[in-house]
Structure 1
C-alpha cells in the first residue's frame, strides 16, 4: 500500500516538472533598417505582442510567438510611414499583422539558442533561422535576436534599383 502511494507521488512530481510556465510580456521592441538610395532608413513597430512558455524542468522554450500591427510602423517621416502602409508595400487593409511562431529550438553554448520560426508577412510564409539569446535576470527572462530577411520574399516594395532587398531586423523582449 505504501509503495503505491510513493509511486503515485513520484508520478505526480514527474508530471509536474513537465508543466510549462506561461510568461507575461513586459516589453518588446521590433526595430529594422534597410538601405534606400545608399542611406540607412531606420524604423520600428510600437504595437507588439508576444507569448512565451518555458518547460519548468529545464527552462527550455516550449512556445514563443509574436505579432505586430503593421499600422504601428515608424520611420521618422510620417509621409513615408503612410506610403509603407499602401498595397505596394505592406497593404495593411488586407494584411494588418506580421506574425511569427517558433517551430524549433535547441540550446547552444552559453545563452545562445538555435531557432527556426515561421514568419508570415502579407500572407506569405517562410521558415527562417534566427539565432536567439536568452538571459535570466533576477525575475525576468530577456530574449533578443538580430537577423536578416529579404523583403522581396514577402512581396514588399517590388523591384527597385534604390531599395535594398535585405532588411536587418532586431527584436528584444522581456517576460515575467
Structure 2
C-alpha cells in the first residue's frame, strides 16, 4: 500500500522532471518514461511504478523566470506487482482515488545548479494536501531528443498516506527518467503517458 503511494509520488516527479528539463523552445513527445519508487517494508526494499501522467511544459534554461511545469497523475494506475495491495492503496486510508482522482504538481521556480542540472520548486498536491518540494534534475540534450533524470524523497505521512508504522518506512524514494523527441516549431511541450 505504501509502495503504491510512493509510485504515485514518483509519477508526479516524472511529470515535473519532464516539463522542467526541456530547456529549448521545442515541443516534446514522450518516447519512454520510467517513474519508479522504493520504500522499506519489514526491512526489505519494495519497488513499484505509476503511469497515467499528463503535463504542460514550457522550460528554457536561459529564461527560468518564465518557465513552468504543470502536471497531473492518476493514482488509480499505481502498480506494485501485487494487485490486492494496488487496490488497497486506492482506498480512503491511502490515496482515496474516489474523492481525489488526480495528483498535481505545479512549478514555483527553478534554479540552475550546474552544467545541465537544475533544482525545481514545486507544489505537490495529493489527497487534498499541498506541500512544497524540491526536485533536483539533469537535462541531457541529444540531436532530436531530450532525456530528463531526477530523484527525490518524500515523507508519506505529510500527505496522510497510511499511518505511522513500526515496519513501514515513512520515507519514499522516487526515481524519474523521461526520454522525449522534440518538435522545433513550438515553444510548449506536452507529455501524456
TM-score (norm 2): 0.74
- Where in structure 2 are there 5+ consecutive unaligned residues? 1-23, 183-193
* 1:22 to partner: Cα distance: 5.3
Report which structure shows greater RCO (CA 8 Å, sep ≥6).
Answer: 2
> Following TM superposition, by how much is the alpha carbon of 1:106 offset from its aligned partner in structure 2, in angstroms?
1.4
Q: What are the Cα deviations for residues 65-96 of structure 1, in whole angstroms up to 9, with x where unaligned?
A: 22210010000111111111111111110111
Q: Does 2:130 match 1:125? A: yes
Question: For residues 25 and 123 of structure 1, what CA distance do their matches in structure 2 show?
Answer: 30
Assess if the C-alpha contact under 8 Å between 1:36 and 1:164 holds in 2.
Answer: yes
Q: In 2, distance between residues paired with 1:152 and 1:127? A: 14
Equivalences for residues 19-58 of structure 1 within 5 A = 21=25, 23-26=27-30, 27-55=32-60, 58=62
Aligned residue pairs total 156
Q: Which has the larger radius of gyration?
A: 1
Alignment partner, residue 108 of structure 1: 113
Would you say 1:71 and 2:76 are equivalent positions?
yes
Give the corresponding residue for 2:167.
Answer: 162
Q: Which residue of 2 aligns with 1:150?
A: 155
CA RMSD of superposed structures (Å): 1.9
Deviations 1:15-64 (A, max 9, x none): xxxxx8352341433211111111111111021122211339x3747122
Considering fraction of residues, name the structure with more strand. 1
| TM-score, normalisation: structure 1 | 0.81
- 1:119 is displaced (CA, Å) by 0.7
Deviates more, 1:20-29 or 1:35-44: 20-29
**Alpha-carbon distance between aligned partners in 1 of 2:84 and 2:67, rounded to the nearest angstrom:** 41
